[in-house]
Chains A and B, each alone.
Chain A
Amino acid sequence: MNLYVLLKMVPDTVEELNVAGDNRSLDAEYLRFKLNDPDEHALEQALLLKEKHGGTITVVTLDAPEVDDALFTALAKGADRAVKIPADQAALGTIATAKAFAAFFAALPAPLAADALILPGSQAVDDLEGEVAAYLAELLKLPYLGVVCGVTAVDGKVTAVKEFSGGLRGRFEVPMPAVLGIQSAEKPPRYVPVAKVRAAMKAAKIETAAIEPPGPARALDLDHMYKPEPTGRARMLEGAPEEVAARITEVLAEHGVA
């Protein structure tokens, strides 16, 4: 199979996030980037498909902080090629990001093969303008399914499982080539030792795609960004862990459960 995994770096929401002076972006100074969780699953899903059916995995990203680490990690895990599009992802909204990826596919020497699957993560915490996967599918005029949590390939067609809610899922048949927004792979993303990543850094190289910048960075008229006012702030229990545990025990007793 010809598998393309699209990776995107997102701000780590475990860190404190502040709004920058322009009131329209995050303050980059203390921002720590990490690979978007669903994208990590998209890579794992591609690795599982490659193990089963053979083929190649091309990992594609835009330029972003820490992105080289993510690309080398993907190569160490078993991806065959890593390609970086020279556009600053942090400055781009979903639509411009999708356009940059679409330009990458348009510039491929041959049209997408009949066994090609494009696997972006299903969604991200900064999807204000929508999901990259869905917009890209529209631009490439390819079949699309999102919130996918499992992919099986049989006879030139794939069966993909989509999550609804309450644990209910649905099975869909998807003709290839297609774009599948992956939410979670069938197995947890594999671990790769740091030594292997270092080896990949020495042995492999990241290719650069010659793509024109994707036009306007953002499609929306963003008025301003701000931190939410705490609404109903919790009653904070303070003290040594022992005291806190004792206080929680009281609260549980008040609610008749301990």
Chain B
Amino acid sequence: MSTAILVLVEQLRGQVADITFEMLGAARKMAASAQRPVHAVALGRDAAGLATRLGAADSVLVVDDPVLDQPTAEAAVAVLQQIMEQKQAGLLLLGGTNVSFGLGTRLAARTQLPFVNFCKGARTDGDALVLTSQLFGGKILSDVKLAQGRGIASIYPGAFPADAGRSDKTPAVEKLALAVPAPKVVFQQYIEPEAGDVDITKQSVLVAVGRGIQSADNVQLAEELAQTLGGAVCASRPVIDQGWLPLSRQVGKSGMTVKPRVYLAFGISGAPEHWDGMQNSECIIAVNTDPKAPIFDGAHYGVVGDAVELIPLLNEKIHAKKG
């Protein structure tokens, strides 16, 4: 399997996301035993300027069309399909993020190549590439075999080390002239994050609540604990979707990435999309009624118990300690 591996450089508003380097590292690992070339694909008018940072790739393929500056998946899908054909690429890696969301599925429909979602591990097995994916909120893994290492995969953020995808080398840059169709879904504007009353990314203690908190009234208990600790309350998606806390308090894939000194997770199972946003907290203390909740695999301290019962007790103890 000597077909090329393509990595789509993920950028939003000119910023190259870390997932790009994680994918380049993963691609190098997949390429090593099979001697496959690795090409980074950079789209948009300033794409050529990114090449100096993409030294882990053998070459950088650039399509500098202004349409590709916009975050519209449609144009990217059309261009990627052409590049895969032109370069006879066997494997395409995409970021498993909201920015690249849907690209892999749509390319799979067009190319008839297998698409593997939620990929967090890879190994070669003879001619085949075996990809490990995380399913059902992190509770089950599945291994999928790509014959001859041919397919499309979306790479889970944080699954492969970014450092393995960074290099000081200067890769060759190849500009490609490709037809870029005008997208039917037209980007209009960005909507900036709502400025909340509290910036949860700047707190040293966060009291996080998830589905297990059960009601809006119980969120108030968490608020009281956060106040005692001099921190703030944040939440996983289900709590925000219920309207119990504003969007500015959401931690995870769509929300904020936080790194507090202590992250207290109450009633949060630790689904990958939440874990994404808080995994680098210095100390994670998780409370959940489900002893098999994935959060216990990553947390520093765990309690199998009812968050609603524990929060007021904890609040009392801390008050008592403060005197």
On A, residues with C-beta under 8 Å from B are: 11, 13-14, 16-17, 19, 26, 37, 41, 94-95, 122-123, 125-131, 133-135, 137-139, 143-147, 159, 161-175, 178, 181, 183-184, 187-188, 219-228, 230-238, 241-242, 244-246, 248-249, 251-253, 255-258
Given the complex of chains A and B, what is the CA–CA distance between A172 and B101 in angstroms? 15
The A-B contact count (CB < 8 A) is: 274
Tell me whether A128 and B118 are in contact (CB under 8 A). Answer: yes
Tell me whether B253 and A165 are in contact (CB under 8 A). Answer: yes
Identify which of A16, A135, A165, A169 contacts B191 (C-beta below 8 A): A169
On chain A, the residues within 8 Å of B302 by CB distance are: 233-237
Question: Can you list 9 residue pairs at the A/B interface with Cβ under 8 Å?
Answer: A128-B144, A129-B115, A134-B106, A145-B185, A164-B254, A167-B254, A235-B300, A238-B304, A257-B204
Tell me whether A187 and B243 are in contact (CB under 8 A). Answer: yes
Within 8 A of A (CB), among B280-323: 282-286, 290, 292, 294-305, 309-310, 313-314, 316-318, 321-322
Known: A234-B300, A248-B317. 13 other contacts (CB 8 A): A126-B135, A129-B105, A129-B114, A164-B12, A167-B254, A172-B72, A228-B141, A236-B301, A237-B301, A246-B317, A252-B262, A255-B261, A257-B229
Nearest A residue to B252 via CB reads A165
On chain B, the residues within 8 Å of A174 by CB distance are: 184-186
Nearest B residue to A133 via CB reads B102
**Known interface pairs A146-B102, A227-B140, A251-B301. Does A167 touch B310 (Cβ–Cβ under 8 Å)?**
no
Identify which of A19, A167, A236 contacts B140 (C-beta below 8 A): A19
Tell me whether A256 and B261 are in contact (CB under 8 A). Answer: yes
Q: Check: B86 CB closer than 8 A to any chain A CB.
A: no
The 7 A-B residue pairs with the shortest CB-CB distance in the complex, in nearest-first order: A167-B193, A130-B105, A234-B302, A138-B109, A134-B105, A13-B137, A245-B313
Q: Give the shortest distance, in Å, between B240 (CB) and chain A (any CB).
A: 8
Tell me whether A128 and B310 are in contact (CB under 8 A). Answer: no
B interface, how many residues as a size bin?
Answer: 35 or more
Nearest A residue to B321 via CB reads A249
Q: Check: B93 CB closer than 8 A to any chain A CB.
A: no
Tell me whether A255 and B282 are in contact (CB under 8 A). Answer: yes
Within 8 A of A (CB), among B167-205: 184-194, 204-205
Given the complex of chains A and B, what is the CA–CA distance between A17 and B139 in angstroms? 7
Tell me whether A147 and B101 are in contact (CB under 8 A). Answer: yes
Tell me whether A138 and B133 are in contact (CB under 8 A). Answer: no
Q: Check: B241 CB closer than 8 A to any chain A CB.
A: yes
Q: Give the shortest distance, in Å, between A7 (CB) and chain B (any CB).
A: 17
**Known interface pairs A170-B190, A228-B138, A257-B231. Does A245 touch B317 (Cβ–Cβ under 8 Å)?**
yes
Q: Interface of chain B, helix or strand or loop or mixed?
A: mixed
Tell me whether B188 and A244 are in contact (CB under 8 A). Answer: no
On chain B, the residues within 8 Å of A227 by CB distance are: 139-141
Q: Give the shortest distance, in Å, between B249 (CB) and chain A (any CB).
A: 10
Tell me whether A234 and B301 are in contact (CB under 8 A). Answer: yes
Q: Give the shortest distance, in Å, between B50 (CB) and chain A (any CB).
A: 19
Given the complex of chains A and B, what is the CA–CA distance between A131 and B280 in angstroms? 28
Nearest B residue to A228 via CB reads B141
Tell me whether B136 and A144 are in contact (CB under 8 A). Answer: no
Tell me whether A172 and B188 are in contact (CB under 8 A). Answer: yes
Q: Give the shortest distance, in Å, between B63 (CB) and chain A (any CB).
A: 21
Tell me whether A129 and B229 are in contact (CB under 8 A). Answer: no
Identify which of A163, A232, A251 contacts B254 (C-beta below 8 A): A163
Given the complex of chains A and B, what is the CA–CA distance between A76 and B203 in angstroms? 44
Given the complex of chains A and B, what is the CA–CA distance between A131 and B230 in angstroms? 41
Tell me whether B193 and A235 are in contact (CB under 8 A). Answer: no
Most A CB atoms within 10 A — which of B204, B294, B318?
B318
On chain B, the residues within 8 Å of A188 by CB distance are: 241-243
Tell me whether B298 and A231 are in contact (CB under 8 A). Answer: yes
Given the complex of chains A and B, what is the CA–CA distance between A111 and B303 in angstroms? 55
On chain A, the residues within 8 Å of B304 by CB distance are: 236, 238
On chain B, the residues within 8 Å of A256 by CB distance are: 261
Tell me whether A130 and B108 are in contact (CB under 8 A). Answer: yes
Tell me whether B193 and A166 are in contact (CB under 8 A). Answer: yes
Within 8 A of A (CB), among B116-161: 116-118, 130, 133-147
Q: Check: B71 CB closer than 8 A to any chain A CB.
A: yes
Q: Check: B269 CB closer than 8 A to any chain A CB.
A: yes
Identify which of B98, B110, B192, B297 contacts A138 (C-beta below 8 A): B110
Q: Check: B164 CB closer than 8 A to any chain A CB.
A: no
Given the complex of chains A and B, what is the CA–CA distance between A221 and B194 in angstroms? 43
